[in-house]
Chains A and B, each alone.
Chain A
Amino acid sequence: MTVAENGGAAAVADFLRARREQLAQQWADLTLFRAVHTSGRDVAVHAAHRLVDALTEVARDGRVDDVTVPALDQVRAALAQMIAARSQAGATPPQVAAEVAELKRPVIAMVGRELADADRGAALIAATDLMGTLRLVGMEISLSDEGAIVARQRRQLSEVATPVLKLWDRVVAVPLIGTLDSARTQVVMETLLEAIVDQHAAVAILDITGVPLVDTVVAQHLMKTALAVRLMGARCVVSGIRPQIAQTIVQLGIDLGDITTRATLADALEWALGQVGTSIGRA
């Protein structure tokens, strides 16, 4: 890093401290601050102050284009709060990135307008670098938030989406909801087989009402599960096959083999009760 750039960073630091109030006032009117601090403009101005101060520290540190400097931690904390609030309000990551980018214009405009000619060039470069770094930090936060959300939801899905229900003495059912990939199939198979052992089940019902589409892969997963159930000494019936899915299965030429199928869970239960030697009257 050259002396001139360092001089620019120092000039920016001085400038930010001197114009702290003006800049905070201008930022407070931008979408990012307005949308997050809806309770009042004073709160938005206060938050903008904090961000200006944090950026001043980074500029004083001198390394305005380095996203790893410790001085950025405060910037990160201030920005993370706002980005979290924005994404909770439903803003997409590109929207949030654009809103963070908006903060740049007032800074550059003020530096260009108010600094003496001698300092202006280096200061403009340093200010641009600094605001670029801010934008990068913003994107970094958005991305890690998204990643965390995806990981959490995936975990929740596999935990929540595979309950095994006891419908009757020796009859268990798994209501499958969502896409059936090989990881889910594995979890479903394991929990279902354990349930068959625990409940001494004679019939297992796989209900696919909540499965949006059945292709060759999903059909294969279903057949695997049905086969494992049979090996365990229980019988398997697949229910909840909607007319469109039945058509798709036929059109794709999928052979479901000797899997018993029923249109609805009620029909499957009736069949299951027949298998275990119980019958109930129809209303």
Chain B
Amino acid sequence: MNAATGMRRVSVHRLGEVLLASIQQELTDSIAVALRQDLTEMAAAGTRGVIIDISQVEIVDSFLARVLAEIAAATRILAGRTVVCGMRPPVAITMVEMGLGLPGLHTARSLEDALALVEAGEVGR
């Protein structure tokens, strides 16, 4: 990952063929854009799935929702499936009210479920 920029980033871990991005801070626009770049770069090399854990994220606006959808679209082309897990109720309600359904994105309740979903390799929505 590119630490030279000096900016706080979301660390992306590789677990075998799965990339795990666990967002442990409020997601600002610049962090989200950096995450998109990191994930798409890393996904290029033999990745079956990407998991984004957003259980610590309390606010998602239209821009972040779009970035999430773009990450999903890009990693689906490069790798396999992208699963967003642990969304909080207020975030879900806000996204629905804004008409952002994250089409094409898989969702899971917990990290465990998300891993199982990627391992199973079947479309679960």
> Which residues of A are interface residues toward B (Cβ below 8 A)?
186, 189-190, 193-194, 196-197, 200-202, 224, 227-235, 258
Contact = CB atoms under 8 A, between A and B. Distances in A.
A189 B93 contact: yes
Which of B85, B89, B114 is the most central at the interface, judged by chain A CB atoms within 10 Å of its CB? B89
A230 B89 contact: no
Contacts of B102: 231
A232 B105 CA distance: 12
A231 B101 contact: yes
29 contacts: A189-B93, A190-B89, A193-B93, A194-B89, A196-B109, A197-B88, A197-B89, A201-B109, A224-B97, A227-B101, A228-B93, A228-B95, A228-B96, A230-B101, A230-B107, A231-B84, A231-B91, A231-B95, A231-B101, A231-B107, A232-B87, A232-B89, A233-B84, A233-B86, A233-B87, A233-B108, A233-B113, A234-B109, A258-B125
Given A224-B96, A227-B101, A233 B110 contact: yes
A235 B125 CA distance: 7
Which of A189, A200, A227, A258 is the most central at the interface, judged by chain B CB atoms within 10 Å of its CB? A227
Nearest to B125: A230
A201 B109 CA distance: 8
Given A231-B101, A233-B107, A193 B113 contact: no
Contacts of A186: 93
Interface of B: 84-89, 91-93, 95-97, 101-102, 107-110, 113-114, 125
Nearest to B101: A227
B109 A202 contact: yes
Given A197-B88, A231-B91, 20 more contacts: A190-B93, A193-B89, A194-B89, A196-B89, A200-B110, A201-B109, A224-B96, A224-B97, A228-B89, A228-B95, A228-B96, A230-B125, A231-B102, A232-B87, A232-B89, A232-B109, A233-B107, A233-B113, A233-B114, A234-B107
Contacts of B107: 230-234
Nearest to A195: B89
Contacts of B114: 233
A190 B96 CA distance: 12
Given A232-B89, A233-B86, A227 B109 contact: no
A77 to B, nearest CB: 47
A282 B84 CA distance: 36
Contacts of A190: 89, 93
